[in-house]
């Protein structure tokens, strides 16, 4: 199955990962981000929108804002600096603690926020069109229990955004999988590539990149790392000596099998949380969202 984004570029869905909610949520989140970025005013991002939505409810310190939105300090500093230089937020003394500053939305920021909300509403309408209104509501109902702490801590103006919810669910599920994979000595970044290679092997680097929906140069370093780790073979293509042909080694096959066991376990954990039927329903909604 192939996903076509708004730019008309196909992104394949790996069949062996199509039953994993974390994988589908990541693809859906990436598509939602593309839709939002295309709709938002130049220079603005979905993260800017989330920050302004939270600050519109009440002034907060930068540290508290980062904690609520689960954004690390370095990234949050860059976001706030950008919004402040644009005149959308300002720093002022926190009335509750004069030793620190609180961030407040300016009048210009409030106007920009309304424009951004309208842009994202239009983008979201296009994104969820394949689901219909009932499917859209059901998607939110199934996503929210995965991040109950964020739903409780953040205003509806933030958690009601499909793109935001998809992003945070994707991150949460990815974090859980990565922790489990690293516990077995498996690097999470390589799993998708090994799955794609296992399906396409023997294949060239360009073909592997195409199977993953990325460009060849973006996977050069990963291929080098996998080769150095003894997980893939990289031989000259007898039909074209300028190319390499890639295939899994026996160790790579074992590594992939262990990784997929972890992925399956993560999916079972999610099914325990939501229910088997509900997890399957969520996957169907995400797949419909991704494929458009």
- Ordered domains of the chain (ranges, CATH): 2-173 (1.10.10.10), 188-254 (1.10.10.10)
When pLDDT is averaged across residues 154-177 and rounded to a whole number, the result is: 95
CB 183 within 8 A of CB 175: no
Q: Which two tokens stand for residue 144?
A: 């929210």
pLDDT at residue 211 in the model = 83
pTM: 0.86
Distances (CA, A) of 19 to 75, 244, 264, 291: 32, 31, 9, 14
Which helix (H) or strand (E) is 91 found in, with range? Answer: strand 89-94
Q: 12: part of which helix (H) or strand (E)? A: strand 10-12
Cα separation, 42 vs 14, whole angstroms:
33
The answer to whether 71 touches 175, Cβ cutoff 8 Å, is: no
Name 237's bridge partners: 240
* ∠ CA 244-245-246, rounded to 5°: 115
The band of 3, judged by pLDDT with boundaries at 50, 70 and 90, is very low
**Strand pairing partners for 245?**
204, 235
Closest CA to 103 of 93, 111, 117: 93
Q: How far apart are CA 110 and CA 231, in angstroms?
A: 53
Segments of 115-213 assigned E as strands: 203-204
pLDDT tens-digit map of 246-281: 999 999 999 999 999 999 999 999 999 999 999 999
- Please name the residues in contact with 284: beta carbons below 8 A apart, sequence gap of 6 or more: none
**What does each C-alpha distance from 282 to 20, 125, 256, 266 come to in angstroms?**
10, 19, 26, 15
Q: What confidence tens digit (pLDDT) does each residue in 179-215 have?
A: 888 887 887 778 889 999 999 999 998 899 888 878 8
Q: Output the CA–CA distances (angstroms, integers) from residue 62 to 59, 175, 198, 278, in the order listed.
A: 10, 24, 45, 37
**Phi and psi angles of residue 94, each rounded to the nearest 5 degrees, phi first:** -75, 120
Burial class of residue 33 in the structure, from the number of CB atoms within 10 Å of its CB (0-12 exposed, 13-18 middle, 19+ buried): middle
pLDDT in tens, 102-157: 999 999 999 999 999 999 999 999 999 999 999 999 999 999 999 999 999 999 99
174 contact partners, CB below 8 Å, separation of at least 6? 22, 26, 188
Q: Which residues contact 199 (CB under 8 A, 6 or more apart)?
A: 14, 15, 16, 211
Distance (Å, whole) CA 213 – CA 7: 13
């Amino acid at each position: 199955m192939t996903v076509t984004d708004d730019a008309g570029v196909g992104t394949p869905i790996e069949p062996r990962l199509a039953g994993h909610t974390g994988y589908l949520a990541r693809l859906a989140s990436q598509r939602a981000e593309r839709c939002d970025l295309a709709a938002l005013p130049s220079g603005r991002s979905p993260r800017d929108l989330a920050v302004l939505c939270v600050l519109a409810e009440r002034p907060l310190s930068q540290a508290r804002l980062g904690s609520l939105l689960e954004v690390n300090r370095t990234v949050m500093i860059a976001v706030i600096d950008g919004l402040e230089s644009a005149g959308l937020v300002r720093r002022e003394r926190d009335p509750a603690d004069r030793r620190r500053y609180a961030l407040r939305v300016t009048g210009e920021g409030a106007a920009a926020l309304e424009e951004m909300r309208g842009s994202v509403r239009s983008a979201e309408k296009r994104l969820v069109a394949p689901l219909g209104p009932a499917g859209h509501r059901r998607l939110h109902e199934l996503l929210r229990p995965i991040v109950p702490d964020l739903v409780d801590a953040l205003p509806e103006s933030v958690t009601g955004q499909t793109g935001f919810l998809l992003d945070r669910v994707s991150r949460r599920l990815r974090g859980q999988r990565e922790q489990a994979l690293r516990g077995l000595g498996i690097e999470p970044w390589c799993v998708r590539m090994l799955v794609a290679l296992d399906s396409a092997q023997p294949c060239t680097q360009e073909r592997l990149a195409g199977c993953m929906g990325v460009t060849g140069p973006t996977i050069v370093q990963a291929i080098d790392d996998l080769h150095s780790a003894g997980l893939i073979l990289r031989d000259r293509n007898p039909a074209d000596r300028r190319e390499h042909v890639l295939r899994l080694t026996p160790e790579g096959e074992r590594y992939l099998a262990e990784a997929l066991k972890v992925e399956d376990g993560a999916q079972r954990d999610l099914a325990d949380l939501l229910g088997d039927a509900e997890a399957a329903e969520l996957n169907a909604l995400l797949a419909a969202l991704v494929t458009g």
